Structure 1
Amino acid sequence: MSRFRSIWQASLNATKKALTWNLEDLMPPAERLIFSFNSKEELKKWHLYSDSEYGGLSSASLEISEVDNGLKGTGVFSGNLSVDLAEDSKWNISRGGFCGMRSKKFDGFIDLDSYDTIALKLRGDGRSYISTIYTENWVNSPGQLEDNSWQAFVHVPKDNWYIAKIPLARYLPTWRGNVINAEMEMNQARILGISLSVNAEGGVPGARTGTGDFKVELDWIKAIRTGEYT
């Protein structure tokens, strides 16, 4: 009888371990790296845009920082914000003074449904930047072919490295930079891309504003699960 009990107990323990392993396999990790900025190859996943596409005079670049002693580099998004228009501009834009970096579309989409926060490790200049998430268009409005976009401000303190954590619930639906006054829920399971941009005006109270130079360094962007916003 004791031998039977030993075999039964061993079988039960093995079953419990198998169930535990299966649960661990099903549970995504607490954080997911979306982008790193430590090589020129990584920067090829991004493209730049600015008001210069519409006759403005703002400019931007995205480069790898210089590294010493074998340390990894970081991405440096920098440039100059201007609200002026080129003299030969054929455009009539109402708002200039912006630059941005947007990721190229993923091969399909990524699923962030198991996470509640976007985290960015960056070092900046005291300005406010705009973090944008693009999701698959599920509004299906007539003539609307663009991806849905969701935006939140990121105040980047000057000089020191800083990890900004933005709850996904804080991202607001927008249409061409303007907040949509509608009740919408982000489709976190179908993320198509991400961008980081800066405007000459606007932002959180206390942040640096105005035309002139801007610069922010980026180490990585991650999705994390804190459990605080679920």
Structure 2
Amino acid sequence: MCTREGVFSGNLSLDMSEGSPWRIRRSGFCGMRSKKFDGYIDLDSYDTIAMKLRGDGRTYISTIYTENWVNSPGQEEDNSWQAFVYVPHGSWRILKVISLVATGNYVFVHDKTPLCFPIQIPLDSYLPTWKGNVIEANMEMNPSRVVGMSLSLNAEGGVPGAKTGPGDFRLDVDWIKAMRSL
């Protein structure tokens, strides 16, 4: 039996309120992020992020933030590395075998197994991004300088057959771990 340790849920909306005090240019995005770690988490001894999730048929975004070494000096933003995770509706998922499906500039971690499997994302499958867009550069993540992690959701995009658009969403998170796949 699985117990839920965390829930990421809400209603994804494309509405933009006229006269809002927020300078919103687009909508349809929601995320949750860890606090910035005190120091770094060193994942250099690991090659994979594993997650035990129960989803709603949407594609979620897993982000790892590393110390800023790509951007201009003096810039405060951390570097972000993203992988897209499709979580079918229903049962807890713990993926043992992954397949990577390239779709445009994105990599989706996806498996068609109908029951329980751990979702594993190799660290080298995370793509460098800037404000949600993939950076077209030959770069490698520095796994010894992880400063935070997040899970998020965008109303647009996803693997073929995934639920998209506005509406309710829910992702149950039992655990997230770093591991060696070898």
* TM-score of the alignment, normalized to the shorter chain, above 0.5: yes
Q: Which residue of structure 2 lines up, in the alignment, with residue 190 of structure 1?
A: 145
Shift of 1:92: 5.2
Matched with 2:129 is 174
Larger radius of gyration: 1
Structure with the bigger percentage of strand: 2
Letter in 2 for 1:151: Q
Name 2:158's counterpart in structure 1. 203
**Offset at 1:74?**
2.2
Q: CA deviation at 1:94?
A: 3.9
Aligned counterpart, 1:75: 6
* AA of the residue aligned to 2:121: I
TM-score by length of 2: 0.81
Matched AA of 1:99: C
Gapped regions of structure 1 (runs ≥ 5):
1-70
Structure 1 or 2: more helix by fraction = 1
Higher relative contact order (CA 8 A, sep 6+): 2
- Asked whether 1:220 is paired with 2:182, we answer no
* RMSD (Å) for aligned C-alpha atoms: 1.7
Corresponding letter in the other structure for 1:76: V
Contact 2:16-2:26 within 8 A present in 1 as well: no
Contact 2:66–2:146 (CA<8 Å) still a contact in 1? Answer: yes
CA contact (8 A) 2:67 2:145 kept: yes
Match of 1:26 in 2: none
Task: Choose from 41, 44, 53 the match for 1:122.
Answer: 53
Q: TM-score, normalised by structure 1?
A: 0.65
Q: Please tell me the residue identity of whatever aligns with 1:169.
A: D
Asked whether the 8 Å contact 2:8–2:172 carries over to 1, the reply is yes
SS at match of 1:129: strand
Matches within 5 A, 1:1-230: 72-91=3-22, 93-142=24-73, 144-162=75-93, 163-227=118-182
Aligned length: 158
Cα gap change, 1:187 to 1:104, in 2 (>3 Å): same
Structure-1 separation of matches of 2:73 and 2:44: 28
Aligned partners of 1:109, 1:166: CA distance in 2, in Å?
Answer: 20
